[in-house]
Structure 1
């Protein structure tokens, strides 16, 4: 299964893990593109029963309320599949924003994509 093309994000399957990477999103992105991408990801997750999801935020330079809402919606759809979600390459700014809403109470964060993938691809975490 191959993830669909997106406007603001890139998605790829690494074994059974969906990795979603932010393209260089600044404060000038279009809300419609974000909404479309989130709905496309949600449909893909539901259709294929994705249970492991990593958000790689390395290229994220802006993280406003719309992005937080989109992240939460996509995360919830993965959780409905009894899935797990993690974030990696998180800036201090983004980490602080997500800590305020207690996002990390239920989701792991990793310093980089390799570490996050190793966590998900290790049999004990399956």
Structure 2
């Protein structure tokens, strides 16, 4: 990030768009991860992007991705059910759909509960 971008982001009084904010937060994460692991910023971005693509592809295909000591990513089918319209109280049929599921493994849970 160049000096004028960081000053503009820090000192601007108008509402920043979430798209721009997410972009800069992502860049900051790549820089921090790269410095900690001795990677260049571009290499860190490529590794994280490849990881995201792999997880999305596997979960979309119905499989699961298991990261040792961290978490497992999968998708589950939520069955069809009958719900109620909160305004009128009429029954409404809710169709079945697939939803993402993330399960934290024991080391991650223990790290959070120090």
TM-score, length basis structure 1:
0.24
User: Which structure has the larger Rg?
Assistant: 2
